[in-house]
Amino acid sequence: MASTLADINSQIKKHDEQIAQLRKQAEDLRNQERAGIIEEVRKKIAEYGLTATDLKLSVRGAKRSVAVAAPKSAAKYRSPTGETWSGGRGRKPRWITEALAAGKALSDFEIK
């Protein structure tokens, strides 16, 4: 099988053109099928009175809910340097943990 580089390049070009034609045919068929499917879905939506909400679809132009930050809790404890802590969930501030380790009570820092 003695082929030249020019022959191989010619075959590649021919196959590339065939591939492009086949891709175009596939795209056309998909678009035809898609149009049929869209029509079927529209009929079902009308038949059953479905809404975008029923289908869990977003509606264009609808405002999305904006996450609102939780309001900060009022401070319940104050350090001698003026730092405050609400006493809420999560880690205790360093100044509290150091004071507790030093033998102080949490009630010593309560804001009255």
pLDDT in tens, 5-18: 999 999 999 999 99
Give me the residue label for tokens 């009308």: 46
Are 83 and 95 within 8 A, CB to CB?
A: yes
| Per-residue DSSP letter, 110 | B
Judge residue 95's burial from the number of C-beta atoms within 10 Å of its C-beta, 0-12 exposed, 13-18 middle, 19 or more buried.
Answer: middle
Where residue 61 falls among pLDDT bands split at 50, 70, 90?
low
pTM reported for the whole predicted model = 0.39
Domain positions in the chain: 1-58, 77-109
Per residue in 94-108, pLDDT (tens digit) is 999 999 999 999 899
